[in-house]
Amino acid sequence: QVLASSKKKKAYIKTPENREWVLIVEAVSSTGQKLRCLVIFKGQYLQTSWLN
C-alpha cells in the first residue's frame, strides 16, 4: 500500500510485501473542471472483444 499526499512529492510504503503496481490517471477538462481519477490495476485476462 502506497500512501501519498497530492501536495507532497514523496510516497511512503506502508507494507513492503505483496506489492503491485497500479496506474493512476488524473484529468482536467478544457473548462477547468476536475474529472474523477481512474485507477488501473493489473488484469488477469484480456478479452479480444475489447480490442475491436
What pLDDT, in 10s, does the model give residues 10-45? 666 666 676 777 888 888 888 989 888 888 888 777
Tell me what pLDDT residue 6 has: 60
Q: Read off the pTM.
A: 0.42
The CA–CA distances, whole Å, from 17 to 9, 24, 25, 47, 52 equal 23, 21, 24, 30, 37
| Domain ranges for the chain | 17-52
pLDDT reported for residue 1: 47
Place of cell 503496481: 21
- Look up residue 2 and give its three cell numbers: 502506497
